[in-house]
Amino acid sequence: MHYFQYQAGELYCEEVPLARIAQEVGTPVYVYSERTLERHVRVFDEALQSVPHLICYAVKANSNINILRRFVAWGTGFDIVSGGELFRVLRAGGSAEKVIFAGVGKTSDEIRYALDTNILFFNVESSAELELIHSIARDGGKKARISIRANPDVDPRTHPYISTGMQKHKFGVSLPEARALYRNTRGLSNVEVVGVQCHLGSQITEMGPFEEALASLRQFILELKSDDVALKYLDFGGGLGISYSTEEPPSPAVYGETVARATKDLGLTIVLEPGRVIAGNAGILLARVLLKKNQGTKKFLIVDSGMNDLIRPALYGSHHQLWPVREQAGKQLETVDVVGPVCESADFIAKDREVALLEPGELLAIMSAGAYGFSLSSNYNSRPRVAEVLVTGKTYQVIRRRETYEDLVRLEESQN
Ligand code: LLP
């Protein structure tokens, strides 16, 4: 569900015509709908109503500070994976008490930073990391709250690059090892065990993998109980998928109900770390057609946004719907490769896709780009990163200005 829709043949974000944003801010530009973001947060929150819970938005999905400020106002916590993300959350006015910190390679500086700001807990991903956190906490005279990221060896049936919950992945620790680690924490005076965490992967579009993981976590938590390990939190990670094309992922309500049902009697606070399901369909990348080109039997539609702006098609072969900003009266279609200006053949948005017949100068909305769009963008080919705009009802705000050529060299020249 999102608030990008046609009105009298023109594509709008909420009540603002996208053509107006393109004209005033330029293209390419990421456009987000505040109403959609808020709705997704509320729906997710309501889905967990029957159990004590904390929603920790996964900052990596979209980390613009102005968007994080909205999340602070809506009361969410934050799932972070770096010191930089912690800095963003705090700068946005977020409270460290609602921050959880995952990642297999946290540095000593990042651990210290998180301890100094007193985050809710660390999601620990190895025994070596547990020792590191303990020694840093001891040196600083602090107590680190931790949960262990359990790897339940469940196939999330998603793209291999975004699967994380199987033995072959670098994430978390196997259940038997995790059990031993919990026992070992008894000897670690500067560590307080508060929970268990599990994140299976991303863009998961069926309940099966979640149900399987919940069943093994349940069993695992009961075993911990018998070991006298008392927990407060069960952090079930993120991963709920969205519809990019024909997928029909479970709704947040179905997902929330399943999580609540499987965990209710454990008496724990449920933490969830949704990213994509909150931000994905709340944003688009707005691009302009530069040129058309035929090569043999191929037709190319060359647009002004490249793989540096949106890398998902190149990296995961992912599908993004392409909507013309001016709804075509005749609805004439043509089959094209939609490509950008970057000097790589991986620089495509869609291949052999039937899209509306567009001419140079016309605008194209690359849908479902609100998560892992801008946050994965780069300056490759010395392309300034694009602007970001947040629409609220009838108004919009530039929440990140377009980079300039000066911005490209600023950090390099200051070294002289
Ligand atoms: N928690 C942890 C520990 C994670 O690693 C992730 C995502 C999330 C939560 C949020 O997952 P979500 O609810 O968004 O599925 N760049 C890829 C996605 C990478 C996901 C990385 N971790 C993409 O564009 O599809």
Distance CA(323)–CA(320), nearest Å, equals 10
Query: Does residue 159 carry a pLDDT above 90?
Result: no
Distance of CA 216 to the CA centre of its chain: 25
Query: For ligand 1, is residue 79 a contact (CB within 6 Å)?
Result: yes
CATH code of residue 307: 2.40.37.10
Query: What is the per-residue pLDDT for 416?
Result: 59
Q: Which of 238, 272, 306 is the last residue of a domain?
A: 272
Average pLDDT over residues 77-101: 98
Do 116 and 257 share a structural domain? yes
Same domain, 246 and 113: yes
Residue 387 pLDDT > 90, yes or no? Answer: yes
Confirm whether 136 is domain-assigned: yes
Last residue in a domain, options 226, 251, 272: 272
Residue 205 pLDDT more than 80? yes
Together in a domain, 249 and 161: yes
Is the domain of 252 the same as that of 399?
no
Q: Report if residue 52 sits inside a domain.
A: no
Does residue 113 have its Cβ closer than 6 Å to ligand 1?
Answer: no
**Domain limit, last residue, from 233, 256, 272:** 272
Whether residue 284 sits in one domain with residue 268: no
**Same domain? 262 vs 208:** yes
User: pLDDT per residue over 241-286, tens digit each?
Assistant: 999 999 999 999 999 999 999 999 999 999 999 999 999 999 999 9
Residue 364 lies in a domain: yes
Residue 310: name the closest of 340, 344, 274 by CA.
340
Are 218 and 262 contacting, i.e. CB atoms less than 8 angstroms apart?
yes
Residue 354 and residue 373 in one domain: yes
Tell me if 40 CB under 6 Å of ligand 1: no
**Strands (DSSP E) along 269-385, which ranges?**
269-272, 283-295, 298-303, 322-324, 333-339, 348-356, 363-366
Q: Which tokens is 376 given? A: 């994965």
- For residue 323, what are the domain limits? 4-32+280-409
Chain centroid to CA 351: 25
**Pairwise CA distance, residues 64 & 70, whole Å:** 10
How far, in Å, is the centroid of ligand 1 from the Cα of 276?
7
> Which residue's CA is minimally distant from atom 7 of ligand 1?
202
Rounded to the nearest angstrom, the distance between the alpha carbon of 169 and the centre of ligand 1 is 14
Does residue 309 form part of some domain? yes
Contact of 39 with 375, CB cutoff 8 Å: no
DSSP letters spanning 243-266? -SSS--PPPHHHHHHHHHHHHGGG
Q: pLDDT at residue 163 above 90?
A: no
Substitution site in 57, 243, 276, 277 for ligand 1 pocket (most atoms within 8 Å of beta carbon): 276
Cβ 287 under 6 angstroms from ligand 1: no
φ, ψ of residue 132 to 5 degrees: the values are -65, -45
CB of 61 shorter than 6 A to ligand 1: yes
Task: Answer yes or no: do 347 and 388 share one domain.
Answer: yes
pLDDT average, residue stretch 385-393: 98
Is the pLDDT reported for residue 329 higher than 80? no
Residue 245 lies in a domain: yes
pLDDT at residue number 28:
98
Do 214 and 285 lie in one domain? The reply is: no
- Residue 260, domain member (yes or no): yes
Q: Is 62 in the pocket of ligand 1 (CB under 6 A)?
A: no
343 is catalytic: yes
User: Does 416 or 292 have the greater pLDDT score?
Assistant: 292
Q: Are residues 223 and 327 in the same domain?
A: no
Q: How many domains does the chain have?
A: 2
Domain with 198 in it: what CATH number? Answer: 3.20.20.10
82 assigned to some structural domain = no
pLDDT, tens digit, 9 for 90 and up, residues 210-226: 999 999 999 999 999 99
Find the largest Cα–Cα distance for the chain.
Answer: 73
For the segment 353-379, the average pLDDT, to the nearest whole number, is: 97
> Is residue 414 over pLDDT 70?
no
Do 245 and 309 lie in one domain? The reply is no
Mean pLDDT of 143-148: 98
Least trusted range by pLDDT, from 70-84, 224-238, 322-336, 357-371:
322-336
The mean pLDDT value for 107-116 works out to 98
Candidate ranges 180-184, 375-379, 410-414; pick with highest mean pLDDT: 375-379
**Residue 92 resides in a domain:** no
Please check whether residues 113 and 138 belong to one and the same domain: yes
Mean pLDDT, rounded, for 49-70: 97
Question: Best mutation site among 41, 44, 60 for ligand 1, i.e. most ligand atoms within 8 A of its Cβ?
Answer: 60
Q: Look at residue 415 and tell me whether its pLDDT is greater than 70.
A: no
Beta-carbon contacts of residue 295 (< 8 Å; ≥ 6 apart): none
